[in-house]
Structure 1
Amino acid sequence: MVKRTVRLGVLAAVSVVALSASACGGSQPCAGFGVTSQIGVMFLQRGYSDLTGASYELCAGGRCIEGDLERQDITRISLRLPADTGPDLGTVRFRVTPEGSSNPEIDASSDVKLSRQSDGCGGGTYSEGLAFTKEDGLTTKIPPRVSAAWRKHIESLAQPSQSS
């Protein structure tokens, strides 16, 4: 009797995990399991003096994320938003303050309408990607040079490191 109870318990646990992994009760797994509401900014540092160690702040929907920049050509910053976020986000604000300064070198904002991202099960979330460049400011239209810089950055991460 104990073995049968253990087997039934294991079977029930596996069933719960399988339903959770599909993110819906249908027979087909959901393609977008794990889709999250967020706002992201790709920041092309070209045109600025060395911003290594500068602090950044990205705010939207009443939330903010802060951090420090590393020395690289492009940085991607993401701010997770509540799951119930709708398309009308409002203003997104992006600031960068050089290390040791109290005055931001960059203080940009833009009104943003979020795009719907399906979870493949009839639900979904809202999110949007933006870019910031010295020439274009904060925009939802990602300039080709930002896409190229991001592609180069990703490719460099895939290269084996050169060690002596």
Structure 2
Amino acid sequence: MARHARVLGGVAALLVGLSGCADSSTCAGVEVVSQVGVYVVQEGFGDLAGATYELCTRGECAKGELQQQGISNLTVGLPDDVDPDTAPVRLRVTRAGAAKPFIDDSVDAKLVHQSDGCGGGGYSQALAYTKEDGLLPNVPKAIGKAWVQQRKAEATADPTPTASS
């Protein structure tokens, strides 16, 4: 056990040394990554469970499947050396079993630098999609607030019992 503690302590010291940070509290953002995210408001679309999405920008794409929820957060990771200049972001969503997307929208977005507090960071941008307005180059306050409320509700919900409980 003592050996494991020394190894973990050494690894932690190595990471601090590599990051250039001596005080981990000043480097709370070391996990900053370059990415583009889209908050998809599902209201007005009916059941989207099982619909597939494709989110693309700057030559990178992410694909996945939507869950039925109020707001979905879709992200596409970007390389650390991404060009932050304005570029198109494209979102496509296709219902399960359909041949063509029912959402196919794009908007130009400029990335914003997010510092990690240690001299590094990443470039990111948050966008939103609503049935009424399409793909927006920013996140309206009401959508951001609803996302936070949804996450809080998920975090405080009673866990589903399992067979081993």
Please identify the structure whose Cα radius of gyration is greater. Answer: 1
Residue identity (%): 45
| Contact 2:108 2:137 (C-alpha < 8 Å) held by counterparts | no
Q: Secondary structure at the match of 2:91?
A: strand
- How many residue pairs end up in the alignment? 155
Pairwise mapping of residues 107-126 of structure 1 onto structure 2 (< 5 A)? Answer: 107-126=104-123
Pairwise mapping of residues 9-88 of structure 1 onto structure 2 (< 5 A)? Answer: 14-15=9-10, 17-21=12-16, 23-29=18-24, 30-88=27-85
The C-alpha deviation readout for 1:13-63, integer Å capped at 9, x for no partner, is 845531414652343332321110001111001111321111111011111
Q: What stretches of structure 1 of length at least 5 have no aligned partner?
A: 1-6
TM-score, scaled relative to structure 2: 0.82
- State the alpha-carbon separation in 2 of the partners of residues 100 and 49 from structure 1: 15
Is 2:154 aligned against 1:157? yes
Pairwise mapping of residues 127-138 of structure 1 onto structure 2 (< 5 A)? Answer: 127-138=124-135
TM-score, scaled relative to structure 1: 0.83
| Contact 1:19 1:25 (C-alpha < 8 Å) held by counterparts | no
Structure 2 counterpart of 1:139: 136
CA RMSD of aligned residues (A): 2.4
Q: What stretches of structure 2 of length at least 5 have no aligned partner?
A: none
The C-alpha deviation readout for 1:105-139, integer Å capped at 9, x for no partner, is 10010111100001112222100111100112111
| Contact 1:59 1:93 (C-alpha < 8 Å) held by counterparts | yes
- Mean CA deviation greater in 100-109 or 21-30: 21-30
Q: Secondary structure at the match of 1:88?
A: coil
- State the alpha-carbon separation in 1 of the partners of residues 159 and 10 from structure 2: 46
* 2:99 paired residue among 92, 99, 102: 102
